[in-house]
Amino acid sequence: MQKPISRRTVVNYALVAGAFLPGLYLGRNAAAAALAPLDPSDPTAKSLAYVSDSSKVDASANPTHKPDQTCSNCAQFQGKPGDAQGGCNIFVGKSVAGGGWCKVWAKKP
């Protein structure tokens, strides 16, 4: 026969769990902030025509580029729409400029 769990035990476990939740949140933000910025001369970045400023895209080499396309409104961008830097699903482990652009740009749903 199992011993019933007391209310005191449940409250104690809830307090202990609540103490660890802020640490989990801070750890996630620290990991995102630790991403190194993507170097435009990186071989992958070059092959995808990545630029850190969307207004400097060579229109003749990239005819699909539109002026309103930036990393911050791309489906691959992992930051918030207004963030200056954020992670990218294409350039794993690197952060891209929110105002940047590359050939993989896709409209955020």
Q: Which domains does the chain have, with CATH numbers?
A: 7-97 (4.10.490.10)
Q: Is the pLDDT of residue 32 over 60?
A: no
> Which CA distances in Å does 2 have to 5, 7, 10, 29, 66?
9, 16, 16, 42, 66
Kindly report the pTM of this predicted structure.
0.68
Q: Is the pLDDT of residue 31 over 60?
A: no
Q: Is the pLDDT of residue 74 over 80?
A: yes
d(CA 55, CA 48): 16
Q: Is the pLDDT of residue 105 over 70?
A: yes
Q: Is the pLDDT of residue 94 over 70?
A: yes
Q: Is the pLDDT of residue 14 over 90?
A: no
